[in-house]
Structure 1
Amino acid sequence: MPSARELMDLTRKAIASLLRAVSLQEQVTLICQEIERIAPDIIAFILRADEQGALRPLAGSGLSARQIQALEGLAIDSLYGIADDALAVGTEDAAQPGLHDLGVSHGAKRFWAAPVRSGDGRVLAMLAIQPQQTATLTALHRRLIDTCLPLCALALEREESRTRIDRLAFYDELTGLPNRRLLQVRAEQAIARAQRDRSPLAVLVIDLDRFKRINHALGQPGGDELLRLVARRLEEGRRFCDIVAHLSADEFALVVPYCDAEQAAASARCLLAALSRPCRIADVPLGLSACLGISLFPGDGQDIDTLIHRADMAMQRAKACGLGRFCFFSEELKRSAVELSLEEALRVAIERNQLRLHYQPQVYFKDGRLRGVEALARWHHPQLGDISPARFVVLAEQCGLIDELGRWVLHEACRQLADWRHRGLAIPAISVNLSPSNFHDADLPATIARTLAQHGIRPAELMLEITESVLMDTNPSFLKILREVHAQGVLLSMDDFGTGFSSLSHLHRLPVQELKLDRSFVFDLEHDGASRTLSDAVLHLGESLRLSVVAEGVETEAQRRILVQLGYQVGQGYLFSAPLPPAELEAWLAARPGQAKRLADALIPD
């Protein structure tokens, strides 16, 4: 008889293995080993029941290969057939009902098997022993089995719970497919193999057409049934190495290793054909279709998140083309992705004061005296480098950031002018470009007034530049705001004049003090008589309206000379200086002969 101490020791070891979270195989093997240690005359083994009720050898080192083969796949009912938990008995007479022949070479031997039951009564496994020296079951054997049955049940139920938790964490409960989390793990492994083998890999994202409409018509049970059907059809054609996952709602993903563009296109056609097969959902005949997007490793991305995102972008493009289509991720879509990321980066750059202003001088042709500077926004992206203003200003207009950009430029330009004044650098005036949409902000006059007061800038030292497109703005609030700004004493300039909507009938309504001749006229002055004629006309128009006129884009001495001959007094362009950061503008000023003296007499522009 085993002593109480021995049984307690067995229990303690089994519980300790559970606490160490060792594998189920190790836990049940330990139980079998402890049984055989306490009773060396028997062989112990455990047969686990699968989902179909068939038994599979789980633990027990004393069985021969032939015995294991004989036990594999047995039905539980073949080992015991009585209602209670009495031990089933194997015998030499294998023809007796409910008995099993282990098939040892020198004749069959008895073995006894008891069911391992869960808390809800299900049979999880059979714990079996085979005495080597007796044909009957002894009290020792019974006591060992009685002690080990709850330990086996505890180990098996714990494994069931762990499996259930893993399924909840890594599998979609509705379709049974891997979820995004498990896809992430398996796909990264597949990508690592593709990188190592230098082999292609494709990611496909599938989205059902009209799923919301179907789900609404058939109800959630019908929608769920449809998603399960789609999951089965996606699983049907997959290879062993392919990964199918349910991402969300009606969106699925496939990771297909060793798949180039041509093979991906063929796979897409097969999948769309399989999904389009007629079906019945909730007794309603349905014709299905789906759209599919494809991205390829390594060209479209180096990690699964990027590849899925770009396949999804391609899928959205396919949907835009109609039902049942597929589309590859392309350079055009890549540019769209870059623009989206650039939009967010611009938003952050404005919020975190990561933009910078450069300043381009405006000078008098006659003596080179400084008239003022124009503030021009510059953006250095940490990864993409310098982004052209022509690009990010248009982006700001498209994504609704242009008002924020205008306010930032206004504040920073006034701050910089105040700093120069504080350090004794008498920059006469500063010009700031604002978008027409800024003048639809009813708070703009108050914003300008607060900014000027905050930095101690006089209104006449600030010039706001607006484009000719405002001439076509018939909104009464726009003109009201423009006049309120002008009433503060802030000067207004019409930028790029002569290229857009120039019209005296509109121009006379605006309280502007300056016109800026567009650089396109200046560029052709030397070789195009029409440019000279138009430039002359703009100057005379400005003079007739008592407006100052500034020529932009002056790059050569010949252009300067022609402008002077036409009667222009002020110019701006690379002939004098490129737009400069504050420190470089200060150095430019210091290097100009007599500039310090001239600045003292030039605090207010003409």
Structure 2
Amino acid sequence: MPANAATQQVQEPSPVDRDTLTGLMRGGALEAVLERTIHGKPEGAIGVCVLGIDRFRHINDLLGYDAGDRILREVADRLSRWLPRNGSLARLGGDDFAIVVPGLEEREAMLSGAAILNILEPPIPLDQREIFASASLGLSIYPEDGGSAPQLLRRASLAVARAKARGGGVLERATNPNGLRPEERYQMEGALRRALENNELTLRYQPQVDRDGKLRGLEALLVWNHPELGRVQTETFIRLAEEIGVIAPIGAWVLEAACRQMMAWRQAGLAVPRVAVNVSPLQFSCPHFVEMVRRVLRETGLNGDALELEITEGTILRDIEESAARMRELRSSGVRIAIDDFGVGYSPLTYLHRLPLDVVKVDRTFVSEITKPSGSLPVVHTITVLAHHRGLEVVAEGVETEGELELVRAARCDMVQGYLIGNPVPSAGIAELMMQPERLTTHFHAPWPGGY
């Protein structure tokens, strides 16, 4: 795609359909253009790109809204100069823009995304300073990623969210779970929408043990058993649930089911310390998330200190101040907060002091590398030392071998989780485990080491 192509739009929008700040068409007008293009039965693919300026809220907070508006106009101008002749460009609102280019296959679309990132790299002159405004891009392609304009724009927008979760300044491709053809994906979407009412979702629980092999908690893991597809990989259907807008009811069901199960265990005389529940990025960002958690605790009768919410590092770093405020609200109800997948793709150690956390979960990629020569043992030890300095507990997840167990113990991790300790099992399996706690200490052949 030529970077110096003309900027003529596919169809000029009316003045009412133009954004007053940038002069670009509005999101609704772009969606209509995309829908007309799809209905015209194009011979090739259609590339849909959504762009979001990284940390734009902080630009507004630090420099003021007038400066933010000037940056938006400059970004719009650079994108307009780059836009190919048959492309359409719109401002969706806030700091989000969208581009639609017919005839754009995946490889060309990825190259175009890289070109867009490049044109935004030069600093933006602003009074007596220069502002670097990086962006995150999300890309979806018709017909692979959807058959309608709303689907394609939504999936590109979700890809932007994932790009920002990676730290920004990158391109993220909309996903196609398991390489499904469009008709197969459509069937899976319908099946997932019905999964809750058909009782196809279940929870399994994986134990977390302390340095003596004593049970300290359980992580609730969601499983989808489809009558025809069989067990669907969790990462696949969670991402799909986010894309089609059903993550909120699924997330609420998981939280309520885990809390009710905790109460059932306790009423049966089983002293399960606490249960950890994973929270998706979209779920955590929901304005009513905190109140939903409080409602579930009230309705189930579970004390807040028996619940731990696992939030990924990328989710928190999207907006660290807003995340911290939401976490403080949750902790005011007694809920423990764990940062999950810690250390992947970021430089997060400096952020720990700003977050109201209880637990740091060392990502399994570090654990899997810990036994190799020049492996990750020093990194895990550094994370543990810093976390302990902040009064936080450390969980090593994904422990699968005795060698890994020995070294995460040597690194002074407080708790261990993984297939070596125990597989995820149904609730009945936890009842059996509580009756035979020695099963958790099978691989703890020596006292907890004195340190790294």
In the superposition, the TM-score normalised over structure 2's length comes to 0.56
Q: How many Å apart are 1:523 and its aligned residue?
A: 1.1
Equivalent residue runs for 1:98-497 within 5 Å: 335-366=181-212, 368-474=213-319, 477-497=322-342
What secondary structure does 1:494 align onto? strand
Decide whether aligned partners of structure 1 residues 313 and 544 sit closer, same or farther in structure 2, where only a CA change above 3 A counts: closer
Q: How many Å apart are 1:547 and its aligned residue?
A: 0.5
Q: How many Å apart are 1:503 and its aligned residue?
A: 1.9
One-letter amino acid matched to 2:408: L
C-alpha root-mean-square deviation of aligned residues, in Å? 2.9
Decide whether aligned partners of structure 1 residues 528 and 406 sit closer, same or farther in structure 2, where only a CA change above 3 A counts: farther
What secondary structure does 2:341 align onto? strand
In structure 2, how many angstroms separate the alpha carbons of the residues matched to 1:528 and 1:353? 47
Q: How many Å apart are 1:578 and its aligned residue?
A: 0.8
Q: State how many pairs are aligned.
A: 275
Q: Does the 8 Å contact 1:403/1:435 carry over to 2?
A: no
In structure 2, how many angstroms separate the alpha carbons of the residues matched to 1:594 and 1:553? 18
> What residue number does 1:554 align with?
399
> What residue number does 1:585 align with?
430
Decide whether aligned partners of structure 1 residues 395 and 521 sit closer, same or farther in structure 2, where only a CA change above 3 A counts: same
One-letter amino acid matched to 2:298: A
Aligned-pair identity in percent equals 37
One-letter amino acid matched to 1:412: A
In structure 2, how many angstroms separate the alpha carbons of the residues matched to 1:550 and 1:334? 36
What secondary structure does 1:424 align onto? coil
Query: Does residue 415 of structure 2 align to residue 570 of structure 1?
Result: yes
Q: Does the 8 Å contact 2:433/2:439 carry over to 1?
A: no
> What residue number does 1:89 align with?
none
- Cα shift readout 1:443-473 (whole Å, capped 9, x = no counterpart): 2222111211211211111000000113422
Q: How many Å apart are 1:584 and its aligned residue?
A: 1.8
Q: Does the 8 Å contact 1:472/1:501 carry over to 2?
A: no
Q: Does the 8 Å contact 2:399/2:417 carry over to 1?
A: yes
What secondary structure does 1:428 align onto? coil
Decide whether aligned partners of structure 1 residues 452 and 560 sit closer, same or farther in structure 2, where only a CA change above 3 A counts: same
One-letter amino acid matched to 2:413: Y
Q: How many Å apart are 1:475 and its aligned residue?
A: 7.2
Q: Which has the higher contact order (CA 8 A, sep 6+)?
A: 2
Q: Does the 8 Å contact 1:428/1:461 carry over to 2?
A: yes
Q: How many Å apart are 1:576 and its aligned residue?
A: 1.1
Q: How many Å apart are 1:538 and its aligned residue?
A: 1.1
1:538 to 358, 383, 396: 383
What secondary structure does 1:579 align onto? coil
> What residue number does 2:3 align with?
none
What secondary structure does 1:465 align onto? strand
One-letter amino acid matched to 1:396: A
Query: Does residue 354 of structure 2 align to residue 509 of structure 1?
Result: yes
- Cα shift readout 1:479-506 (whole Å, capped 9, x = no counterpart): 4322211211111000111113342443
Q: Does the 8 Å contact 1:410/1:432 carry over to 2?
A: yes
Q: Does the 8 Å contact 2:270/2:434 carry over to 1?
A: no
In structure 1, how many angstroms separate the alpha carbons of the residues matched to 2:356 and 2:295? 21
What secondary structure does 2:339 align onto? strand
One-letter amino acid matched to 1:347: R
Q: Does the 8 Å contact 1:550/1:569 carry over to 2?
A: yes
- Cα shift readout 1:104-128 (whole Å, capped 9, x = no counterpart): xxxxxxxxxxxxxxxxxxxxxxxxx
Q: How many Å apart are 1:513 and its aligned residue?
A: 0.7
In structure 2, how many angstroms separate the alpha carbons of the residues matched to 1:556 and 1:446? 40
What secondary structure does 1:529 align onto? coil
In structure 2, how many angstroms separate the alpha carbons of the residues matched to 1:540 and 1:313? 50
Q: How many Å apart are 1:250 and its aligned residue?
A: 8.9
Decide whether aligned partners of structure 1 residues 550 and 475 sit closer, same or farther in structure 2, where only a CA change above 3 A counts: closer
| Structure 2: segments with no counterpart, 5+ residues | 1-10, 12-38, 42-102, 104-141, 148-177, 441-452
In the superposition, the TM-score normalised over structure 1's length comes to 0.42
One-letter amino acid matched to 1:339: R
In structure 1, how many angstroms separate the alpha carbons of the residues matched to 2:381 and 2:320? 32
Q: How many Å apart are 1:436 and its aligned residue?
A: 2.3
